[in-house]
Amino acid sequence: MTTSTHYDAIVIGTGAGGGTLAYHLAPSGKKILVLERGGFLPREKENWSALEVYQRERYHTQEQWYDVNNKAFRPATNYWVGGNTKVYGAALLRLRERDFEQVEHQDGISPEWPLKYQDFEPYYTQAEQLYDVHGQSGCDPTEPPMSLPYPYPAVRHESRMQELANAFTKAGLHPFHLPLGLKLNEVDKSLSACIRCNTCDGFPCLTQGKADAEVNCLQPARNHPNITLITEAKVTRLHTSASGREVTHVEAEVAGETQRFTGDIVVVACGAINSAALLLRSLNEHHPHGLANHSGLVGRHLMKHGCTAMVQLTTKLNPDSYQKTICISDFYWGDADFPYPMGLIQNTGNVLADMLPAEVPALLAPLLKMRPGAELKAVADRTVGWWLQTEDLPDPDNRVRVEGDRLHLEYKLNNIEAGSRLIKRWTGILQQVDRTEHLVPFSIYPRNMMPIQSVGHQCGTCRFGEDPNTSVLDLNCRTHDIDNLYVVDGSFFPSSAAVNPTLTIIANALRVGDHLLERLK
């Protein structure tokens, strides 16, 4: 075992939380070590192959996790510099103002946050600047107040999406341009890294046109000589002092060797599931149930949204290349006949022929069996993909558990009625639109509920709060129990809301970063 230089701060993980934090701390000149278990995601032609990415899962970890019945599964998660933002859809939305309050749902209560929208607002603004967000304010009926407009204009709808947006407006809805973090210049394409391709959501970006944590944060941070990044460094354990009040060193497997690193401050940013697992695995005599787990809440309240991918299949050709531009929040807080929050609707990325066998919803399977092979493309060319997202409520029994090296996810989806209502409502809208577009209407809407493997929107496993008995982290995302230990990723969410989580993770990393800059002075 080797022990190396002492650092002012050690950041573990380089996703939306860790990558952003490293970027924010870099100009301070403080000695900062960044440990990342993955390497750099290779830039290769396969980045944009649906066969490689969706069917062969080329970039997902090979790890096995276990469900509540001890059944092994391969999680759809990514260990690379930049974390899951390397493949994310780059939909970067703010939580709604009311999401920070206690909200009554049909299936229970979504708890109040200890800080409010106003506390996050300046950081959302910074986050939108940092991650190149394109959007148009004033069109989303649930949009919270913004102190500055989006830094870049909304991503233009292509012809089919524009047609659909018009049809939804005619149907009485308020479709708006999905806010997206892209390095896109639609006026001067010669200056645009993003080429509006048809392989974005779920795929790495070959042209580095996606605003992700590697491209926008880690790489610029590395220009500062005080930042040291070690890749393929999997942190396995955190050790504490004799009092148990501070982390003394971080143990990691680096190139097959166990190494120890010391730092004044240690920030865990491994993603909500792996951060909880690391704390639980680091148990010792002062922390017999896992580090910083006096409350018994580390790993509990895991949330990941109730998500449904729906395919709108009609006879109409969809020629659009980049399709992830429409968002609908009309049912976010409910509907005339369902006075509870239902959720958010947005385009998925494109539905491509090579994605269908992997992603195909059960209802589409018989059709594809009848018309296999090249016919898949004919089917895919007539589809539009929709992503329906409902808040899942924090349940202490939904949790991450570890048994030695084994990671268990015990998760049962809740708030199911709200999700079903959203699906039904959206299917009705699509039917209405499709009837007006076709003389002889043919349309089906097969859908797929995201399974346990789908952990992209994981959050909530180390909730923040003022009371050490009911939360793991304090308001600065420092653990209540250990003075120099922070968790800065999706773990801190007390509720998941129904918007995509990443802009809030980024904004929070900037907020905690300000606190750490003060502390490091």
Ligand X SMILES: Cc1cc2nc3c(=O)[nH]c(=O)nc-3n(C[C@H](O)[C@H](O)[C@H](O)COP(=O)(O)OP(=O)(O)OC[C@H]3O[C@@H](n4cnc5c(N)ncnc54)[C@H](O)[C@@H]3O)c2cc1C
Instruction: Say how far apart CA 485 and CA 462 lie, in whole Å.
Output: 12
DSSP 190: G
CB of 159 to ligand SF4, least distance (A): 17
CB of 9 to ligand X, least distance (A): 15
Cβ proximity to ligand X, 32 vs 90, nearer residue = 90
Footprint (CB under 6 A) of ligand X, residues 242-281? 269-272, 274, 278
Instruction: Say how far apart CA 194 and CA 215 lie, in whole Å.
Output: 13
Q: Supply φ then ψ for residue 429, to 5 degrees.
A: -65, -45
Does position 222 interact with ligand X (CB under 6 A)? The reply is no
With CB under 6 A, what is the number of residues at the site for ligand X? 39
With CB under 6 A, what is the number of residues at the site for ligand SF4? 13
Q: Which amino acid is at 375?
A: E
Cβ-based burial of 500 (10 A; exposed 0-12, middle 13-18, buried ≥19): buried
Does position 87 interact with ligand SF4 (CB under 6 A)? The reply is no
Cβ proximity to ligand X, 167 vs 473, nearer residue = 473
Cβ-based burial of 88 (10 A; exposed 0-12, middle 13-18, buried ≥19): buried
13 binds, among ligand X, ligand SF4, none (CB under 5 to 8 A by kind): ligand X
**Three-state SS letters, 6-57:** EEEEEEECCCHHHHHHHHHHHHHCCCEEEECCCECCCCCHHHHCHHHHHHCC
Footprint (CB under 6 A) of ligand SF4, residues 283-322? 322
What is the pattern of x (binds ligand SF4, CB under 6 A) and - over residues 200-239? Answer: x--x-x-x-xx-----------------------------
Q: Which stretch binds ligand SF4 (CB under 6 A): 16-24, 192-200, 309-317, 477-485?
A: 192-200
Q: Which stretch binds ligand X (CB under 6 A): 22-30, 90-98, 140-148, 305-313?
A: 90-98
Instruction: Say how far apart CA 312 and CA 323 lie, in whole Å.
Output: 13
Cβ atoms 301, 461 nearer than 8 A? yes
Does position 290 interact with ligand X (CB under 6 A)? The reply is no
Q: Supply φ then ψ for residue 162, to 5 degrees.
A: -65, -45
Q: Assign 421 to helix, strand or coil.
A: helix
Q: Are strands 383-390 and 306-314 parallel, antiparallel or unpaired?
A: antiparallel
Does position 505 interact with ligand X (CB under 6 A)? The reply is yes
Cβ proximity to ligand X, 29 vs 451, nearer residue = 451
200 binds, among ligand SF4, ligand X, none (CB under 5 to 8 A by kind): ligand SF4
Cβ proximity to ligand X, 91 vs 497, nearer residue = 91
The contact set with ligand SF4 (CB under 6 A) reads 182, 194-197, 199-200, 203, 205, 207, 209-210, 322
